[in-house]
Structure 1
Amino acid sequence: MADAALSRTSFAPPRRREAWLSPRARRTLVSIVLAAICAVWVYPIVWMISASFKTNGEIFADSGLIPDAPTFDNYTRAWREANIGQYFFNTLFVTVGSVIITTIAAALMGYVLGRRPIPGKTALMGLMVFTLFIPQGFTIIPVFELLTSVGLGQSLWGVMLATCGHSIVIFTFLFAGYFGQMPKELEEASRMDGVGPLKTFWYVMLPLSKPIIVTVIVMQTLQAWNDFLLPLVVTLANPDLRTLSVGVYSFRGEHFIDWGGMTAASAITIIPIILLFLFLQRYFIDGLAGAVKG
Structure 2
Amino acid sequence: MTMSRFFATLPRWLVLLLWTAIVMLPLYVLVVSCLKTTQEIYADPLGLPARFTLDNFVSAWERANLGRNLVNSFIVTAGAVIITLVVSAMAAYPLSRFQLGWGTSMLALFLAGIMLPIRLASVELFTLMRALGLLDSLFGLMLVYASIRIPFAVFIFANFMRVLPRELEEAARIDGAGELRILFSIIVPIVAPAVAIVAIFTTIAVWNDFFFPLILIFDNDLKTVPLAITNFVGQFRTDWGMVFASLAISLAPVTAMYLVLARQIREGAGIQGAVK
1:146 aligns with 2:146: no
DSSP-derived class of the 2:232 partner: coil
Match of 1:217 in 2: 199
Output the TM-score relative to the length of structure 1.
0.84
Within 2, Cα distance between the matches of 1:255 and 1:270? Answer: 27
> In terms of mean alpha carbon deviation, does 135-144 or 66-75 score higher?
135-144
1:277 is aligned to 258
- Unpaired segments of 5 or more residues in structure 2? none
Alignment of 1:68-107 (within 5 A): 68-107=50-89
Q: What residue in structure 2 maps to residue 182 of structure 1?
A: 164
User: Unaligned 5+ residue runs, structure 1?
Assistant: 1-18
Judged with a 3 Å threshold, the aligned counterparts in structure 2 of structure 1 residues 143 and 287 are, in CA distance, closer, same or farther, namely: farther
| 1:20–1:203 CA distance, 2 compared to 1 (3 A) | closer
Change (3 A) 1:56 1:288: farther
Identity of aligned residues (%): 31
Confirm or deny: 8 A CA contact 2:110 2:155 kept in the other structure: no
- The CA RMSD over aligned residues, in Å, is 2.4
8 Å Cα contact 1:113-1:121 kept in structure 2: yes
Between Structure 1 and Structure 2, whose CA radius of gyration is higher? 1
After superposing on structure 2, the runs of 4+ consecutive aligned residues of structure 1 that deviate more than 3 Å are 19-33, 282-290
Deviations, residues 81-135 of structure 1 (Å, cap 9, x unaligned): 1222211111111111111111111111111111112342222222222222322
CA contact (8 A) 1:214 1:284 kept: yes
Q: Which has the larger displacement, 277-286 or 217-226?
A: 277-286
Per-residue deviation at 1:153?
1.0
In 2, the alpha carbon distance for the partners of 1:285 and 1:249 equals: 37
Contact 1:215-1:283 at 8 Å conserved across structures = no
Q: 1:269 Cα deviation (Å)?
A: 1.3
Higher mean C-alpha deviation, range 52-61 or range 115-124: 115-124
CA contact (8 A) 2:34 2:241 kept: yes
1:14-56 per-position Cα deviation (integer Å, ceiling 9, x unaligned): xxxxx98443565566335412321221111210121111111
1:128 counterpart residue number? 110
TM-score scaled to structure 2, two decimals?
A: 0.90
Deviations 1:139-191 (A, max 9, x none): 22233333222322111111111111222111101111111100011111112
